[in-house]
């Protein structure tokens, strides 16, 4: 089944299993978020339109309804803790919890905030508490889970990801989430912005300005994302024609649907369905790890000093729009390793390393530009491979 139900016992807001994973097949959850935490080795992870290689100590949060799969990377053994946290349990504390899109990976926003280590320790403590409790949630387990969820809601939502430099007032955040909820419920309407404006008595320009101020992303960007996010599930769970899916998700025509979907997933909807629909319902190849071995890994982490993971940035259409030239960057960053794995061939230059360098407006921007250009040319002369540079204002 594509939708995997998590049987919470009504007392505990969290469940955990630790696996050796060969392949955990494509699936989603409706009423829970998932946290994938690597205790040993490396795995590949697909979360909706993103692909990660996660190493020991890395973690990533998977949103409700996000398609995701995990598979072995290399020949070495792995050990992966998979947490599920009930959204229903936290609905009273956070009334908008079902509409939060979490953006938390150890190597991106958490690293940017300098909190990768603290969140990792929280996950280790949660693992330890659940192992000692035999899988039952005591006060310690619930306390850790509560602190973790408060941190995720406060600092690791999508609007915090794109707007890293501003504090957001509670009034504006409440209005923002009221509109986000309306989008989730009425995303199929083709006149959505006008509908919200009439219903809530906000001007369309105010709504557009609010989205840019709160989330550093436009109303249309977020609407487009939610529509393709809904379309992905229809592509995987049904055999509906693409034209029907396009209409059900509020796209004005099939061309606009194709273009928007490809912006996010880097492949056409028809190709995405061919690759992934066949994986639905396949048996996962996973083995539960004995508690004693999990405890050994927890002790291993306790003996380590603070770990510093490599800083990586999620390259979404909104990231690209905020950085600069979408056409230039997309032509080089279109890489889908799983397409090659499935026999579709490489869509980019595999094996390249990309760096995005931001230069502030302080001082002379032209002087900084020329200095960076000189340094990159010197580096190119010493490097084994080619280096290409984009200078974007």
pLDDT number for residue 238: 95
Residue carrying the six token digits 């939610």:
226
Q: Which helix (H) or strand (E) holds 154?
A: helix 139-155
pLDDT tens, position by position, 41-58: 999 999 999 999 999 999
Give me the domain span that covers residue 331: 317-382
Q: How far is CA 303 from the centre of its chain?
A: 30
In this structure, the answer to whether residues 243 and 292 fall within a common structural domain is no
Pair 144, 87 in one domain: yes
Is residue 312 in a domain? no
| End position of a domain, from candidates 268, 302, 336 | 302
Q: Is the same domain home to 118 and 216? A: no
How far CA 97 is from CA of 25, 31, 188, in Å, comes to 26, 10, 21
Same domain, 147 and 290: yes
- Residue 162 domain-assigned? no
Here the CATH number for the domain that contains residue 229 is: 1.10.10.60
Q: Is residue 308 part of a domain?
A: no
Residues 21, 122: one domain?
Answer: yes
Q: What is the pLDDT of residue 51?
A: 92
**Whether residues 135 and 77 fall in one domain:** yes
What does the mean pLDDT of the chain come to?
84
The verdict on 202 and 127 lying in the same domain is no
CB 207 within 8 A of CB 193: yes
Answer whether 38's CB lies under 8 Å from 247's CB. Answer: no
pTM over 0.85, yes/no: no
For residue 105, the model assigns a pLDDT of 93
Domains contained in the chain, number? 3
Structure tokens at 80: 């992966």
7: in domain: no
Give me the pLDDT at residue 163, please: 84
- Pick out the chain residues at pLDDT < 70: 134-137, 305-309, 313, 320, 322-366, 369, 377, 379-393
Regarding whether 44 and 175 lie in a shared domain, the answer is no
Q: Decide: residue 360, CB within 10 A, 0-12 exposed, 13-18 middle, 19+ buried.
A: exposed
pLDDT at 318 (0 to 100): 80
């Amino acid at each position: 089944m594509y939708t995997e139900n998590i049987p919470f016992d009504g007392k505990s807001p969290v469940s955990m299993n630790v696996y050796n994973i060969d392949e955990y097949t494509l699936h989603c959850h409706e009423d829970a978020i998932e946290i994938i935490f690597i205790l040993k080795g490396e795995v590949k992870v697909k979360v909706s339109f993103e692909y990660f290689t996660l190493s020991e100590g890395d973690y990533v949060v998977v949103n409700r309804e996000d398609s995701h799969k995990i598979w072995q990377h290399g020949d070495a053994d792995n050990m992966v803790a998979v947490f599920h946290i009930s959204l229903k349990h936290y609905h009273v504390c956070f009334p908008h919890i079902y509409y939060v899109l979490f953006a938390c990976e150890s190597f991106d926003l958490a690293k940017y905030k300098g909190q990768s280590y603290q969140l990792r320790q929280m996950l280790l403590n949660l693992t330890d508490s659940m192992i000692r409790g035999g899988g039952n949630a005591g006060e310690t387990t619930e306390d850790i889970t509560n602190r973790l969820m408060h941190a995720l809601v406060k600092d690791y939502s999508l609007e915090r990801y794109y707007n890293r430099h501003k504090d957001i007032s509670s009034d504006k955040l409440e209005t923002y989430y009221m509109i986000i909820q309306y989008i989730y419920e009425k995303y199929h309407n083709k006149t959505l912005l006008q509908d919200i404006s009439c219903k809530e008595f906000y001007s369309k320009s105010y709504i557009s300005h609010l989205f840019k101020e709160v989330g550093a992303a436009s109303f249309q960007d977020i609407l487009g994302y939610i529509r393709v996010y809904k379309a992905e599930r229809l592509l995987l769970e049904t055999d509906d024609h693409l034209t029907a899916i396009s209409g059900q998700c509020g796209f004005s025509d099939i061309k606009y649907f194709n273009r928007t979907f490809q912006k996010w997933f880097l492949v056409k909807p028809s190709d995405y369905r061919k690759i992934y629909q066949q994986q639905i319902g396949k048996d996962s190849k996973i083995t539960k790890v004995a508690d004693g071995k999990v405890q050994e890994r927890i002790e291993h982490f306790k003996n380590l000093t603070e770990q510093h993971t490599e800083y990586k940035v999620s390259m979404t259409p909104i990231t690209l729009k905020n950085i600069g030239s979408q056409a230039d960057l997309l032509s080089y960053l279109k890489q889908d390793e799983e397409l090659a794995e499935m026999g579709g061939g490489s869509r980019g230059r595999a094996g390249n390393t990309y760096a995005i360098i931001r230069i502030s407006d302080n001082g002379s921007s032209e002087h900084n530009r020329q200095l960076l250009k000189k340094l990159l040319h010197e580096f190119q002369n010493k490097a084994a491979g080619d280096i290409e540079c984009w200078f974007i204002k």
